[in-house]
Amino acid sequence: MTPEEMDAIVMAFPMTEKGMSYGRPSYKVNGKFFTRLRREDESMVIMEVGFDEREMLMEAEPGTFHLTAHYKDYPCVLARIATLHPGSLKAFLERRWRKVAPKKLVKEYDAANASA
């Protein structure tokens, strides 16, 4: 996936705001960290990934999923956008979005998607 495709997927979530962090795109929802693109390795910081799930992902797809020492104590994983499937990115981001978006907005999102 290209950075432009990644950006379009991230920005499709309601209330997403784009900013910059370390000279690379970063995103917030409802004033809270959503995700960011790391300069060092063109990887997304994917939040809301438990430690067991993270280990499984890194073992199953080491070319895509990885970790640095900085993130080892956080429930997250790093995912290289060049090899990350767009559908997977959307699913991971939706998990995080549901946690940081206002509950009323989540209900509206679910209602709109149920009728679509």
**pLDDT tens, position by position, 60-80:** 999 999 999 999 999 999 999
**Alpha-carbon dihedral of residues 83, 54, 62, 47, nearest 10 degrees?**
30
How sure is the predictor about 5, in pLDDT bands with cuts at 50, 70 and 90? very high
Place of tokens 């999102």: 109
Query: Angle CA(102)–CA(98)–CA(43) in degrees, nearest 5?
Result: 120
Enumerate domains of the chain plus CATH numbers: 3-104 (3.90.1150.30)
User: What does pTM read for this prediction?
Assistant: 0.90
- Predicted local distance difference test score (pLDDT) of residue 80: 97
Beta strands at 24-29 and 32-36: parallel, antiparallel or unpaired:
antiparallel
100 pLDDT more than 90: yes
Q: In Å, how far are 6, 23, 76, 99 from 15, measured between CA atoms?
A: 17, 22, 22, 13
Q: In what order do the strands lie in the sheet with 16-21?
A: 16-21, 24-29, 32-36
